[in-house]
Amino acid sequence: MPHHSGCADCGNMKGLFRCRGCKVTQYCSTGHKKADYIKHRVTCNRIQKALRKMQARERALRAHEDKPFEHDIGNFWGCPETRPYMRARLEYVNALLANKSFESIKTQLDHCMECLRLCKRDNMGIREQIPSLMICLGKDQECYNFVKWWTFSTWSGERWGEKSIENANPLESSDWYYDIHGSVLPHAVSMTLLNIKLMFVLMSQLEDESDNCGSVIEAMESVRGSSFMKNPKMKNCKNKLAEIEKVKDRIRRLYTFVDKTNSLFWPALVEPDEHLGIIPDGFGIGGKCQMQMTLNYTYDSWDNFKPGIEIIARALKGEMI
């Protein structure tokens, strides 16, 4: 289900107020809130429970004599007393996954970024959830910057916030990505989607679009709001046809990379129903649990851009672009 903004019952954007329980679902009237109650209740209760737990852990931590919020910012995981709070914050983010509103996505991303600020080494693996959230919000360029930074930081031992990458060139060779120490499956999956969207961004900038079928034109329209469009390298790209072919090659390479890392993932992306909502506590590389965790972290960004899923479905049939 694509993410929505506005009233959860009718989509109206005016006169909105938020649910007092989950604090992310919006309604335009009490009548529409009541109409949505049965559908919203289970998710709302789960989010409320996780939020209350996180808030209780935060109050206890702020009252702790060592005052970690004053003295240990950036190194939270190094202080054992902070870990119950950090785990509760991750549980809250995971509870929000079931809510398909833009407000929920924004809240998830805000909490994930705050977790990185508190714990720059990211001992809980919060970084695996961030790329998909950024893509859902149209922050494609920011997502590319983020994935590239994390890949390089793994090599150099840097911590989040020590340096940053801005306006990285999405048209550059992606050879840097395939280092086994830097690449994690959710990032590889998001990189695949980013390159698919990048391909359509380039196609949308071609002067002659007359040869494109309706579905391609629709895909091109849907990426016009991508933050890739603001990158100077995109604006100054001269030979777009050649770049499109390079991007297609990267898509094929990333598809193969993901398939070799976990052969269960692409089939599950195309037919996800039995796996959605299942986030295992741990996993082994290449196994079902890794697939389920990655699918739940990344599926919404793909569901928001159906042409990407269609490309993967064709690839599974041997019809790769």
- The reply to whether 261 falls in a domain is yes
User: Count of CB atoms within 10 A of residue 70's CB?
Assistant: 8
Q: pLDDT by residue (tens digit) across 30-60?
A: 999 999 999 999 999 999 999 999 999 999 9
**Whose CA is closest to 142, among 171, 161, 164?**
164
- The reply to whether 62 falls in a domain is no
Q: What is the pLDDT of residue 75?
A: 92
Q: What is the pLDDT of residue 206?
A: 81
Q: What's the total number of domains in the chain?
A: 1
pTM value is 0.90
Mean pLDDT of all residues in 233-255: 91
Tell me the β-bridge partners of 7.
Answer: 26
Q: pLDDT by residue (tens digit) across 61-85?
A: 999 999 999 999 999 999 999 999 9
- The reply to whether 7 falls in a domain is no
Q: pLDDT by residue (tens digit) across 91-120?
A: 999 999 999 899 999 999 999 999 999 998
- The reply to whether 277 falls in a domain is yes
Q: Which amino acid is at 92?
A: Y
Indicate if the pLDDT at residue 214 is higher than 70: no
Rounded Cα distance, 282 and 255, in Å = 24
- The reply to whether 272 falls in a domain is yes
Task: Quote the domain boundaries for residue 186.
Answer: 140-321
- The reply to whether 295 falls in a domain is yes
- The reply to whether 163 falls in a domain is yes
- The reply to whether 61 falls in a domain is no
Indicate if the pLDDT at residue 285 is higher than 90: no
Mean pLDDT of all residues in 10-27: 95
Q: What is the pLDDT of residue 279?
A: 82
